[in-house]
Chains A and B, each alone.
Chain A
Amino acid sequence: MLTVADLSVSYGPIRALRGVSIRVGAGEIVALIGANGAGKSSLLRGITGLVPATGRVTFDGRPIDGLSTPQRVALGVAMAPEGRQIFTDQTVHENLLLGGHLLRGRPQRVAANIDRFYALFPRLLERRDQIAGTLSGGEQQMLAIARALMTEPKLLILDEPSLGLAPIITADIFRTLVGLRRDGMTILLVEQMANQALAIADRAYVLEGGSIVLEGAAATLRRDPRIREAYLGGDLAHHAA
């Protein structure tokens, strides 16, 4: 579904991403793990067109690297960005309506989608008219995911959905992702919480210093001593912090 070939991203003189190639097949959950500053967000921003990148990005068989972000979203690439980035000064409901922007002119379909995601996240329905900035971290993440799903994507990209959330909430969110995949969604999941990500993923890539250093089946990577050393041990530190 998504093929990224030799993608590089630079910020001024700094090369954040050095010729990365990944592939996400239809119906897969692919995890991308790596430490802070490994280039995970740069890769996602390159895929969604939020930063200029060199290299090729193909989605559903067509090149999308020349397209603007809204054009890529219209083709079915959605992202719940790092740090959620919900519209904190608007209500929960308005945030969801904004997710329906591309379907303007089809209000029934937007309304039906909103109902669907209120059913998926009943907490959001309870908070329907609350200003989004007053939500808890977990609720904000649910809103970020629901808002991305409102664009009716084929591929859902999530940038560190567990960031700053209690483990029990993270587990909740990850269960939702598994449910979405069961219903046919393709998911690219970026995580520092490597253990949980690998537990629900089919395949995974490990990013280090802007390059892919390891890739394979998630189950295999989970047993890989290099991964256990570098990332899975890190989970304990995360829980402690």
Chain B
Amino acid sequence: MLQAIIGGLTLGSVYALIALGFNLTYTTTRTLNFAQGDFVSVGAFVGLGTVGVLTAALGADAVGYVWLYALAAVAAALVMGVLGLPLYLAAIRPFAGKPGMSWVVSTIGFGIVLQSAALSVWGLGARMLPAPFGDEVFRIGEAGFRSQELVVLVLAVAILGAFDVAMRRTAIGRCMRAVALNRDAAALMGIDVPRVMAMAFLASSALAGLSGVLVAPILSASLFMGVIIALKGFSAAIIGGLTNPRGCMAGGLLIGLVESLTALWSAQWREIMVFLLVILVLAMAPNGLFGRKLVEKV
């Protein structure tokens, strides 16, 4: 039971990172990056590639693997974050703020391009990214869990907390919230609105890339693993409320828990329960548990 809770919170914290990414782009641009899943997968492979290149360059034991893994995580966040900019320029900027949903197709298209490019580099197969602290199983009473679960949980919660503080306490957070609430009023403060939007995509893509490296040692990394993670992250954002970053985080943890506790009873029912929960929440609270309706002024 404890084991399932820790496992659930671990996956849930990754969903929360993805959900936070959806929240960032939705509030600032009213669009979502449906390529988020591909950013997760490709992020994992950028991490794998980084480890490979560094090992080849430095020799296998030059630095501890923990450092290699940390560098891989940073590289994935950076590379995917930077790729968020062309995504914004090509797939979002022409359509943001205009009626219609062209950005749905354009972001999915960007994801397909990204995935295809990655497939041509890394191929179809699944790979294993070793966990930085090994695959040993720790025991607390009855429960056993892997070191990577703690790594993911601690890192993800730290990042979520840092984002929360940054959104409330820093100038850039104030600007993001201002743009989220009212773009015209933000522009009248001299805020460069398109730049804030681009930064939202950079941050959201970096979160996706980092998530990929975090989960790769738990699941095995394939270029198709991101889709379901992003879908759960999206569900988390929908359940918690797309407009509320804390709601998105809570939604992620909730989905992770439901998934993992259901698996105790029947693994096949995991996905069913998750999406039943989504339907149930939406039936009762169409804007999610902690969300509010955004009124778009025309």
Q: A residues bordering B, Cβ < 8 Å?
A: 48-50, 68-70, 73-74, 78-79, 81, 85-90, 94, 97-99, 101-102, 104, 147-148, 150-151
Residue on B nearest A150 in the bound complex, by CB: B189
Residue on A nearest B183 in the bound complex, by CB: A50
Chain A residues with CB under 8 Å of B181's CB are 87-89
Residue among A49, A88, A89, A147 making CB contact with B189, cutoff 8 Å: A147
B135 at the interface (CB under 8 A from A): no
Chain A residues with CB under 8 Å of B192's CB are 68, 70
Chain B residues with CB under 8 Å of A148's CB are 188
| Cross-chain contact B177 with A89 (CB below 8 angstroms) | yes
B138-152 near A? 1/0 per residue, CB < 8 Å:
000000000000000
Residue among B174, B182, B188, B190 making CB contact with A94, cutoff 8 Å: B174
A-B contact pairs, 7 of them (CB 8 A): A69-B184, A73-B190, A87-B185, A90-B174, A98-B174, A101-B175, A101-B190
Chain A residues with CB under 8 Å of B171's CB are 97, 101, 104
Asked whether A73 and B185 contact (CB < 8 A) given A89-B177, A97-B171, the answer is no
| Cross-chain contact A86 with B185 (CB below 8 angstroms) | yes
Residue on B nearest A133 in the bound complex, by CB: B181
B164-201 contacts to A, CB under 8 A, are: 171, 174-175, 177-178, 181-182, 184-193
Chain A residues with CB under 8 Å of B175's CB are 98, 101
Min CB distance, B120 to chain A, in Å?
39
Min CB distance, A161 to chain B, in Å?
15
| Cross-chain contact B177 with A87 (CB below 8 angstroms) | yes
Chain A residues with CB under 8 Å of B186's CB are 98
Residue on A nearest B184 in the bound complex, by CB: A50
Min CB distance, A100 to chain B, in Å?
8
Question: In whole angstroms, how far apart are the Cα atoms of A73 and B178 in the complex?
Answer: 16
11 further A-B pairs in the complex, CB-CB below 8 A; given A48-B188, A98-B178: A50-B184, A69-B188, A73-B190, A74-B190, A78-B188, A79-B188, A85-B182, A86-B185, A97-B171, A97-B174, A102-B190
Question: In whole angstroms, how far apart are the Cα atoms of A207 and B175 in the complex?
Answer: 35
Asked whether A70 and B191 contact (CB < 8 A) given A87-B177, A97-B171, A98-B178, the answer is yes
Q: Is the interface of B mostly helix, strand, loop or mixed?
A: helix
| Cross-chain contact B187 with A70 (CB below 8 angstroms) | yes
| Cross-chain contact A85 with B184 (CB below 8 angstroms) | yes
Question: In whole angstroms, how far apart are the Cα atoms of A87 and B185 in the complex?
Answer: 8
Residue among A49, A90, A104 making CB contact with B177, cutoff 8 Å: A90
Chain B residues with CB under 8 Å of A86's CB are 185
Residue among A50, A89, A90, A94 making CB contact with B187, cutoff 8 Å: A50
Question: In whole angstroms, how far apart are the Cα atoms of A73 and B184 in the complex?
Answer: 12
Which among A69, A85, A102 has the highest number of chain B CB atoms within 10 Å? A69
Question: In whole angstroms, how far apart are the Cα atoms of A151 and B174 in the complex?
Answer: 16
B112-156 near A? 1/0 per residue, CB < 8 Å:
000000000000000000000000000000000000000000000
Residue among B174, B182, B189 making CB contact with A73, cutoff 8 Å: B189
| Cross-chain contact B189 with A151 (CB below 8 angstroms) | yes
| Cross-chain contact B190 with A70 (CB below 8 angstroms) | yes
| Cross-chain contact B185 with A81 (CB below 8 angstroms) | yes
Chain B residues with CB under 8 Å of A85's CB are 182, 184-185
Min CB distance, B97 to chain A, in Å?
12
B68-101 near A? 1/0 per residue, CB < 8 Å:
0000000000000000000000000000000000
Min CB distance, A97 to chain B, in Å?
6
| Cross-chain contact B189 with A90 (CB below 8 angstroms) | no
Chain B residues with CB under 8 Å of A102's CB are 189-190
Residue on B nearest A49 in the bound complex, by CB: B187
Question: In whole angstroms, how far apart are the Cα atoms of A85 and B191 in the complex?
Answer: 15
Q: List the 7 closest A-B pairs by CB distance, nearest first.
A: A102-B190, A69-B187, A85-B185, A73-B190, A70-B190, A98-B189, A101-B189
Question: In whole angstroms, how far apart are the Cα atoms of A150 and B175 in the complex?
Answer: 15
Asked whether A101 and B177 contact (CB < 8 A) given A81-B185, A87-B185, the answer is no
Chain B residues with CB under 8 Å of A94's CB are 174
Chain B residues with CB under 8 Å of A78's CB are 188
Chain B residues with CB under 8 Å of A147's CB are 189
